[in-house]
């Protein structure tokens, strides 16, 4: 498991039904591309987050497949429709098999 | 026949150029064609309602902010044609996506073209491209 991985997500606290809300996500991660070499000339093995998904109450919002060309601390911004109050679930999948999740609830009036 | 110093030099330069040129051209195009063909099934993407927003000049190739938007797209893929690995990201939009748009930050190795290809609901493909000038490359070089 990569060290110091910390997801951060920004979701509005409330919205009206059917409104499009903007979601910003950031996760601190090295995103080692597998192209770099250390001081002895050995290739540093690839270690990235290869997939990110966002769901709202079990329904998918966005599913992103990441390649090594995504910058360190992968950042995503996108819009979601919120039909009712509920919870967003964010999941990041690491190359080493671990997953990181974060949840944020939103109040729909 | 005895080679003079001048002849040897010219032959050497010629050989070096012959080695370098096709390999560079190959490295830029060949994997790209393969990956894109895998996505589009060989179809040539047309033009349409797709927008790729990227800076004209990126000072730091390690984090270049980009935004793709293609209303009605089921999936958008982004390729950096001059990177060692051209594939950058594939966005698939679910039923609750309010707009078929997303922004992220990518790495670019050198000055190059960034390509966004969207697959529409009807299965056709559209593309947009942007040239980005990179001052410092983002591949640890």
Residue of B nearest to A35 (CA): B139
Q: Which helix (H) or strand (E) holds B28?
A: helix B5-40
CA B137 vs CA A105, B84, B116: distances in Å: 39, 12, 20
Q: Which CATH number is B29's domain given?
A: 2.60.40.2470
Q: Which domain holds residue B109?
A: 5-134
Residue of A nearest to B67 (CA): A77
Residue B94 domain flag:
yes
- Tally of structural domains, chain B: 1
- Whose CA is closest to B96, among A18, A85, A15, A9? A18
Shortest CA gap B63–chain A (Å): 5
3-class DSSP assignment, residue B81: coil
The pTM score is 0.81
Give the sheet arrangement for strand B51-53, strand by strand: A6-10, A19-28, A75-82, B97-106, B64-69, B51-53
- In tens, the pLDDT along B10-42 reads 666 666 555 555 444 444 455 566 778 888 888
The more confidently predicted of residues A4 and A5 is A5
Question: Which residues of chain A make contact with B80, given a CB cutoff of 8 A?
Answer: 69
Give the N- to C-terminal CA distance of chain A in Å, as an integer: 40
Among partner residues A35, A62, A66, which is closest to B139 by beta-carbon distance? A35
Residue B101 domain flag:
yes
Q: Do A66 and B89 touch (CB under 8 A)?
A: yes
Residue B10 domain flag:
yes
Residue B102 domain flag:
yes
Residue B139 domain flag:
no
Residue B107 domain flag:
yes
Q: Please, which residues have CB within 8 angstroms of residue B25's CB and are 6 or more apart in sequence?
A: none
Residue B140 domain flag:
no
- In tens, the pLDDT along A56-91 reads 999 999 999 999 999 999 999 999 999 999 999 999
Regarding an ipTM greater than 0.95, the answer is no
Q: In order of start, what are the domains of chain A with their CATH numbers?
A: 6-108 (2.60.40.10)
């Amino acid at each position: 498991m990569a060290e110091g991985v910390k997801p951060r997500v920004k979701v509005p606290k409330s919205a009206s039904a059917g409104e499009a809300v903007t979601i910003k996500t950031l996760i601190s991660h090295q995103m080692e591309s597998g192209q770099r070499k250390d001081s002895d000339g050995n290739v540093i093995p690839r270690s990235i987050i290869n997939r990110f998904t966002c769901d709202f109450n079990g329904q998918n919002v966005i599913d992103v497949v990441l390649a090594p060309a995504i910058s360190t601390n992968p950042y995503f911004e996108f819009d979601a429709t919120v039909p009712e109050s509920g919870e967003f679930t964010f999941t990041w999948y690491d190359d080493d098999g671990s997953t990181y999740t974060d949840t944020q609830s939103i109040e729909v009036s | 026949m005895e080679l003079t110093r001048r002849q040897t030099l010219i032959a050497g330069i010629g050989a070096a150029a012959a080695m370098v040129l096709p390999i560079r051209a190959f490295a830029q195009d060949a994997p790209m064609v393969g990956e894109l063909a895998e996505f589009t099934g060989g179809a040539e993407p047309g033009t349409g309602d797709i927008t790729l927003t990227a800076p004209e000049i990126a000072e730091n190739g390690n984090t270049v902010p980009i935004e793709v938007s293609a209303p009605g797209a089921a999936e958008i893929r982004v390729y950096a044609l001059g990177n060692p690995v051209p594939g950058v990201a594939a966005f698939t939009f679910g039923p609750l996506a309010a707009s078929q748009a997303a922004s992220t930050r990518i790495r670019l190795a050198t000055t190059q073209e960034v390509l966004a290809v969207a697959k529409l609901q009807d299965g056709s493909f559209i593309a947009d491209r942007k040239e980005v000038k990179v001052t410092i490359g983002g591949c640890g070089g």
